[in-house]
Structure 1
Amino acid sequence: MKNTEKISTQTLLALLAAALLSFTGILTETSMNVTFPELTKVFNVTLDTVQWITTGYLLMVTIIMATTAYLLKKFKSQTIHLLAAIAFVVGDVMCATAPTFTILMSGRLIQAIATGLSTPLMFHIIFNKIPAGRIGSMTGLAGMVISLAPALGPTYGGTISSTMSWRMIFWLILPIIVISWYLGSRYIRIDPVGTGGFDVISLIFLAATLFSFVFGVSKAGKYSLLSGQVVIPFIIGLISLAVFIYSDTHGKTQLLDIRILKWLSTSLSAFTYFALQFVNIGVSFLIPVYCQYVLHSSPFIAGLVLLPGSLVGAAISPYAGHLADSKGYAFPIILGLSSMTLGGFLFFGIQTVLTAWIVLLIYTFLRFGFNMGFSNTISNAMLNVPRKYTADVNSLFSMLQQFAGSIGVGIMAAVMAISQNNGTGSLAARSFVGGRYDFLLATLLSATALIAAIMNFRLQKHTKLNIEESD
């Protein structure tokens, strides 16, 4: 069934403003991955330390996204976009001129504020300004931005670092932020709807939860899994998570309403969304590192192998949304997860004969699957909760998306580091083993998400949520 409702030019330009800022922020998440070997020498740090440029960035983005359910209800969207643009510029200049790793890390964390605000803002515009019958198509375009940027990042970073300097990665993107700021100041117009107080306690314990888990994962690359350096952060994370859940569900104010997870369909969609991004960002980190350490590719080639997949994903994402609008969400999501599972299995199964060309082809197939399922998963979740909870779903899923990327990079980097530090043979041989475990992890997680999606759509088929009654 076709929807002929028109979308205003103002809405499209507002979306473009948020999309440009979100795209640029996400681009820098993975553009630095191909520079990790160089940065370890420049700043005299180890690989498991330098990966915090990506992991720490994603962690900060996750924490900021947790606040957006409140911020989008309390402040004008135009104001939020302006704050995001300013934060990006400040952090970008710090990174470009950083004399030490500490300054570089600080700049990345400030930049993360921009991405943490802009990505939920993009979806906020869609779910407030786009007709229901065209939400799938528009979230498909948003998904194109979110998925294209991390895949283009290594290509962009590899090209710039090979031909100029890694510092130019930050200087060259500044004009995009200026354009985004201009468009946002003119066309983003969504007034706040009012809300209660801000739950600072929940935010503190949520941040402690996320940081503890990611920190524990990062230490697993250096220490035994049963050592205090690994176990203690996980214990602290579990305690913080329990306090966060209690505070958020029993306090007078809420950071975001996690009670939306009481609907099994929402919980299954949340897990699927998490798994999709875990594999996406994790593999986008793994492949450039694997190509350099095992296949002895240059940074340029290591980044370039991701480019075709990113372009295929960009082309598929809007079509996947259109397919969901016309045929329903089950087909593109299940097809996508099946493709991702098969892609991960191919990486694992034929690893001994992998070349840069074969990696390129398999990754392209895997990216097809990711883009078929990613934006459709959040759209399906949005349409299966009462409308008053859409800001909470937006905030929660955006937060899960970034945490998945953060923990995905952390775990895959830790697995690689364990193999490199404790294995036998050459560095290439040790990296090969680490890659094998990472490919297996990506395969199993994709398969689990596929099972969750099948269960979800069977549930939706037999138990339709009565939104009007819940509202």
Structure 2
Amino acid sequence: MISLLLSGFIGMFSETALNVALSDLMSQFHISAVTAQWLTTGYLLTLGILVPLSGLLLQWFSTRQLFISGLCLSVFGALVAALAPGFEVLLIGRVIQAVSMGILLPLMFNTILIIFPAEKRGGVIGILGLVLVVAPATGPTLSGLMIESLGWEWIFWLSIPFLVICLLIGLRYMQNVSAITKPKIDLFSLVSSTAGFGGIVFAFSSVGEGEGGWSSIKVIVSMSVGLLFLIIFVLRQCKMKHPMLNLRALKHPMFAIGTLMLFICMVLTLSAMVVLPMYLIRGLGLNALTAGLVLLPGGILQAVMSPVTGKIFDRFGPRRIVPLGFVLIFVVLWSLTGITAATPLVLITVLHSSLMLGICLVWLPSQTNGLNQLPPELYPHGNAIMNTLQQIAGAIGTAIAISLMTAGIHRFMERAADPSDPANGPLALIEGTQNSFIFASVMATVGLFLAFFLKRVHVEKQQ
């Protein structure tokens, strides 16, 4: 578990670590913002394609085979990115890293479900929250520090020794815990899954690029193709005796609600992680390091509270935790709809930390309770469903946040007496930021409504 958690932390950290380096990369490689955005889009797109296949991989290959392959790819991807002479090679390194996470993340969940009894999973998945929530939250802060003092390449150089240590620990202690059944591979399901999930993630990830937004031909075509193939994929899985991704897991009501909770949490998390740094840097004029430091306490609070939340869940279940988390999330997001250029940084830090705490209270109990309801044969499929929807939610959250922010900026400029006045730029961005948090508040309200349908899954204690 040490090797799995540490390797997962580094992988999830790298998912957001480059966000604050995009400006430097644009200058160094002489590329536009649209091109630089592919470092994030390509990562999400690869995960969106590969994660749905993880249920199949877990049934075809042993735990050790998947772990060693994932770690070797992670080291190789980091090395390629660190040595990248140009943007294209850096993008290839990022895609290789995403392939690694597409293997390691589902493997991590599946291993926990197999080796830990259900009544102890809350605490264990609480520790796993350090990987899923804290790593992306602290990515901008730690990378901002490295960029200011060493350079963006060190984001990758410093991760390689830790990945090698994980590999050595895994080679010594990793055991094969999953059953290899080698089900028949349905090529049509493979193709429709790739086109469906890949098309949807690509569409949402492309909304913020270039002109047109939601009405651009690229977004419309990729979304249409993705939805068409996703419908085909779902219909085929429901008819197959041994589906590639067993959607029957969603017939378990607590798993279905838990999956929706995770979807909402991921939308809110990615929205906040995109909007708040832009507000701090472009709206208030802070540098990347200072903006990262403002958001750092939220990541630290999550690191402390994730294991604690898991223990509380093991004792009390989700009914007392999740609604409280959504109430806290809503209060914070509604407060953020009123931020201005005069809002104190201390208040932003407190609000962000409270938001991260609320997400922690919702995410881990919902996920653990949902997975506890599944029978063992559905563990790989349940993991794949949850992780796939998280990637789609990340793309959706980012796209909607950017779209609403852009719409708010345009509205402000239309009302401005002198749109060419440089002072109007930060003010327009702040109004766009307020728009994004209104949407997030609505999403939190939906989550709070769903939280009242949660019931604790009672499991028999295992000896």
Q: 1:169 corresponds to which residue?
A: 155
2:297 maps to which of 308, 315, 319: 308
Q: 1:248 to 1:451 in 2, by over 3 A?
A: same
Which region of structure 1 is more displaced relative to structure 2, 83-92 or 33-42?
33-42
Mapped to 2, the partners of 1:147 and 1:39 lie a distance apart of 26
2:194 maps to what in 1? Answer: 207
**TM-score, structure 1 as length reference:** 0.89
**Equivalent residue for 1:359, pick from 348, 368, 385:** 348
What is the TM-score of this pair, normalised by structure 2?
A: 0.90
Structure 1 residues 207 and 407, CA, compared in 2 at 3 Å: closer, same or farther? farther
C-alpha contact (below 8 Å) 1:148/1:311 kept by paired residues: yes
Q: Which residue of structure 2 lines up, in the alignment, with residue 266 of structure 1?
A: 255
**TM alignment of 1:302-381, pairs within 5 A:** 302-351=291-340, 353-381=342-370
Deviation at 1:144, TM superposition (A): 2.1
**What residue in structure 1 maps to residue 372 of structure 2?**
383
Q: CA 1:108–1:49 in 2, change beyond 3 Å: closer, same or farther?
A: same
- Of 445, 452, 458, 1:447 maps to 445
1:98 aligns with 2:84: yes
Q: Which residue of 2 aligns with 1:117?
A: 103
Q: Which runs of 5+ in 1 are unaligned?
A: 1-14
Change beyond 3 A, Cα 1:339–1:20 = same
Of 92-101 and 72-81, deviating more is 92-101
- Which residue identity does 1:330 align to in structure 2? R
Distance 1:78 1:63 in 2: 23
Residue identity in the other structure for 2:438: L
Deviation at 1:20, TM superposition (A): 0.9
Query: Which letter does structure 1 place at the counterpart of 2:167?
Result: W
Secondary structure of 2:106's counterpart equals helix
Say whether the 8 Å CA contact 1:198–1:253 is kept in structure 2. no
CA deviations over 1:197-255 (Å, ceiling 9, x no partner) = 22332232223223322333344332053343332222212111111112222246422
Q: 1:44 and 1:445, CA in 2 relative to 1: closer, same or farther beyond 3 A? A: farther
The residue that corresponds to 1:220 in the other structure is 207
The 8 Å contact of residues 207 and 399 in structure 2, kept in 1 or not, is answered as no
SS at match of 2:214: coil
Comparing 219-228 and 397-406, the one that deviates more: 219-228
Separation (CA, whole Å) in 1 of partners of 2:118 and 2:59? 20
Deviation sequence 1:73-117 (CA, Å, 0-9, x none):
221111101111111111111211222222221211110111111
> Does 1:160 find its partner at 2:158?
no
Match of 2:287 among 298, 305, 311: 298
For residue 32 of structure 1, give the secondary structure of its aligned residue in structure 2.
Answer: helix
Distance 1:392 1:219 in 2: 28
Secondary structure at 1:395 match in 2: helix
Q: Which residue of 2 aligns with 1:71?
A: 57
- Residues of 1 paired with 2:112 and 2:206: CA distance? 39
Q: Does 1:41 align with 2:27?
A: yes
Q: Does 1:148 align with 2:134?
A: yes
Q: Which moved more, 1:197-206 or 1:94-103?
A: 197-206
Deviation for aligned residue 1:149: 0.2
Q: Which runs of 5+ in 2 are unaligned?
A: 414-418
Instruction: Report the CA distance shift for 1:337/1:22 in structure 2 as closer, same or farther (over 3 A).
Output: same
CA RMSD, 1 decimal: 2.3
Map 1:23-42 onto structure 2 (within 5 A).
23-42=9-28
- Counterparts in 2 of 1:219 and 1:150: CA distance versus 1, 3 Å: closer
1:234 aligned residue: 223
Q: Given that residues 329 and 354 in structure 2 are in contact (C-alpha distance below 8 angstroms), is that contact kept between their aligned partners in structure 1?
A: yes
Question: Equivalent residue of 2:285, what SS?
Answer: coil
Counterpart CA distance in 1 for 2:123 and 2:45 is 29
Matched AA of 1:320? T
- The one-letter code sitting in structure 2 at the alignment partner of 1:171 is W
Measure the CA separation in 1 of the matches of 2:407 and 2:91.
23
Q: Point out the more displaced range, 60-69 or 147-156.
A: 60-69
Letter in 1 for 2:16: T
- Alpha-carbon distance change, 242 to 81 in structure 1, aligned in 2, over 3 angstroms: same
* 8 Å Cα contact 2:237/2:243 also seen in 1: yes
Preserved contact between residue 119 and residue 459 of structure 2 (Cα < 8 Å):
no
